[in-house]
Structure 1
Amino acid sequence: MRVVNEEAAESELPPYAERVLDVTEGIPAGRVMTYGDVAEYLGEGGPRQVGRVMALYGGAVPWWRVIRSDGRLLPGHELRALEQYRVEGTPLREVAGQHMPRVDLRRARWDGRADRGGATGA
């Protein structure tokens, strides 16, 4: 079982958090899942529960691969996420009037099955 540092250094992760982080670690580079996708994949919880797990424990996993359903970059972490997306070749799209691109969910979304290199449908 994964152990978290700092404030939770002496405790193990809750089982649900462990499952969320395991799914996150399994998302291939250049692909993403939404918070809701992760919850649906697990068959439990919802987007807010997944978001809470990521906020509390997600720093040790590729957190930038779990995103909002509108493809916007995580507020406060946009530059770090954008750097990772560019390194991994994650499909992005420009949005008129916005200074930051969004993740192109049509092309980047992953459904949790073996990656076949194409979009999985949204």
Structure 2
Amino acid sequence: MTAPGPDPEAYVEQVLALVEQVPPGHATSYGALASAVGWGGPRRVGAVLAQWGGSVAWWRVVRADGSLPPSHGLEARARYREEGTPLLASGKVDLRRCGWWPEAPEDAGAR
């Protein structure tokens, strides 16, 4: 992964710290996390989770429309059932009912 900005380690830590805050049964979007961190975009957040997200609840981060990347479907859906995460008939996460929107970390300006 190329450097996401002035401090790549801080960026990764900020993204992972936000994901750790998403409560069970809730979800947020890649874009919401990127906005809270203050730089990088949804794809960069996805890259962080793909590379370093194994220790956090990565399944609680979805696309803005509530959908998942195809590779996440089976495992994520099992976790949604365990947590009682509301889903739409389409299989997407119902972000209107369970959306969690992060605030910027206090040190987000220290890039």
TM range, normalised to the smaller chain? 0.7 to 0.9
- Ranked by relative contact order (alpha carbons within 8 Å, sequence separation 6 or more), the top structure is 2
Q: Which residue of 2 aligns with 1:39?
A: 34
Q: 2-side partners of 1:31 and 1:74: how far apart? A: 17
Match of 1:82, SS state, is helix
Unaligned 5+ runs, structure 2: 1-7, 104-111
1:105 counterpart = 2:95: yes
Whether the 8 Å CA contact 2:30–2:45 is kept in 1: the answer is yes
**1:74–1:81: 8 Å Cα contact kept in structure 2?**
no
Query: Could you tell me which amino acid in structure 2 is paired with residue 28 of structure 1?
Result: P
1:15 and 1:60 mapped to 2: Cα distance?
Answer: 17
Between the aligned residues of both structures, percent identity stands at 49
Aligned to 1:17: 12
Is the 2:11–2:37 Cα contact (8 Å) retained in structure 1?
no
- Name the residue aligned to 1:9: none
Letter matched to residue 83 of structure 2: E
Structure with the greater alpha carbon radius of gyration: 1
Aligned-partner Cα distance in 2 for 1:72–1:22: 22
2: CA distance between counterparts of 1:77 and 1:111? 21
Normalising by the residue count of structure 1, what TM-score does the alignment of the two structures yield? 0.73
Once superposed, which parts of structure 1, at least 4 consecutive aligned residues long, lie more than 4 Å away?
A: none
Q: How many residues align?
A: 96
**TM-score (norm: length of structure 2):** 0.80
> Which residue of 1 is the match for residue 49 of structure 2?
54
Greater share of helix residues, 1 or 2?
2
C-alpha distance in structure 2 between counterparts of 1:66 and 1:78, whole Å: 12
Q: Tell me what 1:119 maps to.
A: none
Worse overlay, 39-48 or 56-65? 39-48
For the aligned residues, what is the CA RMSD? Answer: 1.4
- Equivalent in the alignment of 2:82: 87
Q: Answer yes or no: is 1:26 the counterpart of 2:21.
A: yes
